[in-house]
A and B are shown apart, each in its own frame.
Chain A
Amino acid sequence: MAENVTNVLMVGVGGQGIILASDILAEAAMLAGLDAKKSEVHGMSQRGGPVFSHVRFGPEVHSPVIGRGEADVVYALERMELLRWAPWARPGAAAIYADTDMLPTGIAAYPADIDDEIASRFGRVVRFDMRELRSQINPKAKNTVLLGAVSMLTDLPLDAYAQAITELVPPGTAEANLKGFEVGRRVAASALGVRLESETS
């Protein structure tokens, strides 16, 4: 395993915006002057199936994929997908997830104690209560909201995120996404018990 490489595994279901979120994270790493790689698969299995994107950044990155037990952060826009990819997370890895449930076809009910299991298996956990946040964010910006939490757990400068978001989100949505990113940082700060720099000044 390469040293000083940060591994963020981003997962969800087709159409949720995983690819854009991972593009933003990799772009931010590149803008910060680091080497970065990201990997995903498009095509048949993504028609309503799981979608994943591996993002790796650091001084020098070789493999575009994260191996099992190597992810520092798992970012999930759907709860069950977080558990699907848990074997890719290293012991003590952080989990950032939206409490969104998308029931796979042919499954009767969603597991009841999924939040408890996530809390018991992962290290630091940032759970986004999407119902509670509904009044604060544009639902389409959910992927950048959760990126705000990634920014609290990885070491990239905030202006790199801001520039990457501005460059990559659809025209006319930069403001909503930047606002969502800030909301994500506040939620993560509260969950992690840390203070945001902006609050100290």
Chain B
Amino acid sequence: MALGIPEPGTDARVGSQAVARKVETVRKMLSGNEAIALGAWEAGVAVGCGYPGTPSTEILEALIHYPDLYTEWSVNEKVALEVGLGACIAGGRALVTMKHVGVNVAADPLFTAAYTGVNAGLVVVTADDPSMHSSQNEQDNRHYAIAAKLPMFEPSTPADARQFTRWAFELSEGHDTPCFVRTTTRLSHSKGVVDDVDLTIKPAKHPVGVDQNPAKYVMIPGHARGRRLAVEARMGELARVVETHPANILERRGSVGVITSGVPYSYVREVLPDASVLKLGIVNPLPEQLIRDFAASVETLYVVEELDPIIETQVRAWGITCHGKDTFPTIGEFSPEVLRASLGLSVPASVPDGHIEVPPRLPGLCTGCPHGHVFDVLRERGLYVSGDIGCYSLGVLPPYRIMDTLVDMGASFTMAHGMDIVLAQAGQSHTERAHVSAVIGDSTFAHSGITGLLNAIWNKRDGLFVVLDNGTTAMTGAQENPMSGERMGHENSTHVDYTLLCRALGMPEENVAVVDGNNKALIAQTIDELAAKPGVKLLAAVGLCIMEAKDLSKSGKLEEKKAWRALELSAVCKGADRG
């Protein structure tokens, strides 16, 4: 099961014989995300892929800097997971990263990958966002581990994140299963000391070669029924493994006992320094005997877990009495003060109160952001706006206040489509229905907007769809996407031509317009022209992200990007002269 990861402080550069010489290792301050990348590299990962999403994005942005591996931003999470699974079947270990809602997108391959198994190790990172710092919901993705019957590690610190990622690859490969690592915003974006980092090692890789075994990888019902048994047998094995796995740690102190995992462990240590703690580094499956023995050894038992009562429910199902959500909140992120308040402990005093009332500082679009022009035009016309996920979601806030729905990646076009059906049933003409519009960003368009566009055209709907194209995935910190002309690592690549795409999907050419996103008058005129036409219309407002422009200006690449953006607006790129 060992992956050939050298022990800290030893030299494994020339293989297993040379372990005697001590080498210089360093301490590093790493974020949880950077530590996951380090652990994956040390575990000999060959492929890292994912879709950007806060708080997961920095994992691949850190991984790309390590040698001897491949990284990509995939168009969406489902695609990323399938790329990762394919890499594993061909003998390359894969790390697939996404935010919690990304797992919803990737759930289809995920559940069946549990059946096929992986050959080389496959680790899926889910980055959850308790308190919804940057998300549309607060789902607890530990449910996915239970539902898909997959093991899940949950680190508490950056040092854990590095070690648990290595263990996740071992467990994945040793038991032929995808393995989750769950992080949360607080771990992903916290830094801590990670010891014994040696960047001169050469991690051992899995042997390459496609694993050809149709009974295992072709999930027709007859094969899947066989694999269904394998999944259940594997969970039985894992239930035994977790009883003694070093990720689960027992800290014996006083008669109050706490079962916890993840970042809340650090709050427990802070608030209840005398409590005995069972720190679960693996949250699925749970170690029944370890928990029974621990519960029997303490007088009062608390389960301290953020979000849903997942550990607590299982503990109670085993007939063990405990406190959990009767004491601690189900909603939102924990903190030392949340634990103190829940336990009725005294809260430290603060500096004395003052009399100045501090006004809120709401987030908003950057000054000069090209999206503002489209928002102004939509607002001036009083249009209903079906919105989507990205920086432009801030259009719902002042000063624009122009967004009416926002549900998930790609839902702008499709929900406007649904509205169009019902309004048409009520007898509204296409010009009356033109008060419903939809806006989506360029990366989101590539993620899952194109399928919705195709669906609307194919089903002969009416609708004005606007792509706010700033040439980057801005919300998560300017990642490349299929519309930006670059792939990961700012490597020049192909880019989608809106006009050719729409024509290929069946839209008349006069229904497509690609305009300069900084030209408000032209945007207004084009929207009026398009809104008057029947059928599905697409307007791409092409501009440059202000934040990315600042970075490009520093690195001397601004003019190149501006030239590229200008090219998109030219006749050549509009597809008119390509016939």
Chain A residues with CB under 8 Å of chain B are 1-2, 13-14, 23, 26-27, 30, 35-50, 61-65, 67-70, 80-81, 83-84, 86-93, 104-107, 111, 113-114, 117, 120-122
Contacts and interface: CB of A to CB of B under 8 A. Distances in A.
Given A43-B475, A44-B133, A46-B363, A86 B186 contact: no
Nearest to B359: A107
A44 B398 contact: no
A113 B393 contact: no
Interface stretch (B113-121, B231-239, B332-340, B436-444): B332-340
B399 A105 contact: yes
A2 B192 contact: no
A30 B55 CA distance: 24
- The list of the 6 closest CB pairs from A to B, nearest first, reads A43-B134, A69-B348, A43-B54, A64-B190, A49-B363, A62-B269
A111 B191 CA distance: 35
Given A65-B336, A80-B358, A113-B356, A43 B55 contact: yes
Select the residue from A23, A93, A106 with max chain B CB neighbours within 10 A: A106
Given A26-B29, A68-B347, A104 B190 contact: no
Nearest to B354: A117
18 contacts: A14-B363, A38-B29, A40-B189, A41-B55, A41-B189, A42-B54, A42-B189, A43-B133, A44-B393, A47-B394, A48-B364, A48-B366, A49-B363, A61-B192, A63-B266, A64-B191, A67-B348, A89-B350
Nearest to B391: A47
Given A23-B191, A37-B191, A64-B190, A91 B349 contact: yes
Given A38-B29, A38-B192, 14 more contacts: A1-B270, A13-B361, A39-B189, A39-B191, A40-B190, A42-B54, A43-B55, A63-B336, A65-B335, A69-B349, A84-B358, A86-B351, A91-B351, A104-B362
A172 B347 CA distance: 46
B270 to A, nearest CB: 4
Interface in B142-199: 157, 185-187, 189-193
A83 B55 CA distance: 28
Interface in B357-388: 358-366
A93 B349 CA distance: 11
B86 to A, nearest CB: 31
Contacts of B157: 37
A73 to B, nearest CB: 12
B355 interface: yes
A38 B366 CA distance: 27
A45 B397 CA distance: 12
Nearest to B365: A47
A44 B351 contact: no
A72 to B, nearest CB: 11
B54 A37 contact: no
Contacts of B359: 80, 104, 106-107
Nearest to A114: B356
B51 interface: no
A45 to B, nearest CB: 5
Contacts, number: 170
Q: Give the one of B55, B364, B398 with max A CB within 10 A.
A: B364
A45 B190 contact: no
Contacts of A40: 189-190
Given A27-B29, A64-B186, A90-B348, A120 B55 contact: no
B267 interface: yes
Given A45-B363, A47-B366, A113-B356, A37 B190 contact: yes
Interface residues of B, number: 52
Interface string B471-488: 000011100000000000
A41 B354 contact: no
A49 B361 contact: yes
A48 B189 contact: no
Nearest to B390: A44
Contacts of B398: 105-106
A97 to B, nearest CB: 14
B13 interface: no
A113 B270 CA distance: 37
Contact of B263 (A30, A64, A107): A64
A42 B351 CA distance: 27
Nearest to A5: B270
Interface string B269-298: 110010000000000000000000000000
Contacts of A65: 186, 190, 335-336
A26 B8 CA distance: 23
Nearest to A113: B356
Contacts of A106: 359, 362, 398
A117 B355 CA distance: 8
Contacts of B477: 42
Contacts of B190: 37-40, 64-65
A12 B370 CA distance: 25
